[in-house]
Amino acid sequence: MNLSDFTHSTYIAGLSGGLLIGIAAAMFVLLNGRIAGISGILGGLVQADKGDKTWRVLFLLGMAASPFAYRIAFNLPAVTIEAGTAQLIIAGLLVGLGTSYASGCTSGHGVCGISRGSIRSIAATLTFMTAGFITVYLTRHLLGL
């Protein structure tokens, strides 16, 4: 059984998954006093001046365990990667560099930042979404990649 089979709707699945992400972000800020921002948590692991590596590793191990936990009850949904390996490498560098300069990504700015009404996060989210929309328009519809 696949979870999306009984929710019957990609929107209900999206909303349910979103609520769970919201609960996770709520637990993190209320109990740990921290922002559940994946790029920041990951980035802090490779910064020498950040001494707090343990919780970062545990957070990422939790994320790494999630597909295995999901698989106990449900079939993992199919994943389609349309980008080629070269595109993935370039995209990965841009995502890493960009989120590092912007101090956040979809989770840190898009979810947590907007939730707390941060003007910086609202600006960041509008910027990366617009850049994403334009990039997909260029690659899919103008260049036909």
C-alpha to C-alpha distance for 72 and 62, rounded to whole angstroms: 15
Binding other proteins (rule: CB under 8 A), the pick from 46, 49, 54, 143 is 54
**CB nearer to other proteins: pick between 32 and 48:** 32
Task: Looking at residues 80 to 99 of the shown chain, list those that interact with other proteins (rule: CB under 8 A).
Answer: 80-83, 85, 87-88, 90-99
| Between 47 and 91, CB nearer to other proteins | 91
Least separation, in Å, of the C-beta of 113 and other proteins?
Answer: 8
45 near other proteins, judged by CB under 8 A: no
Residue 29 in contact with other proteins, rule: CB under 8 A? yes
Name residues contacting other proteins, limited to 5-24 (CB under 8 A): 10-11, 13-24
Distance CA 114, CA 116 (A): 5
List the interface residues with other proteins, window 118-137 (CB under 8 A): 118-120, 123-125, 127-137
Among 33, 46, 49, 143, contact with other proteins (rule: CB under 8 A):
33
CB atoms within 10 A of CB 118: 17
Q: What share of the chain is helix, strand, coil (3-state, %, to 5)?
A: 75, 0, 25
Cα–Cα distance for residue pair 78/15, rounded to 1 Å: 19
CA separation for the pair 112, 40 (Å, rounded):
12
Site for other proteins in 62-81 (CB under 8 A): 62-70, 76-81
Q: State how far Cα 118 lies from the chain centre.
A: 18
Q: Does 103 bind other proteins (CB under 8 A)?
A: yes
**C-alpha span between 59 and 69 (Å, rounded):** 15
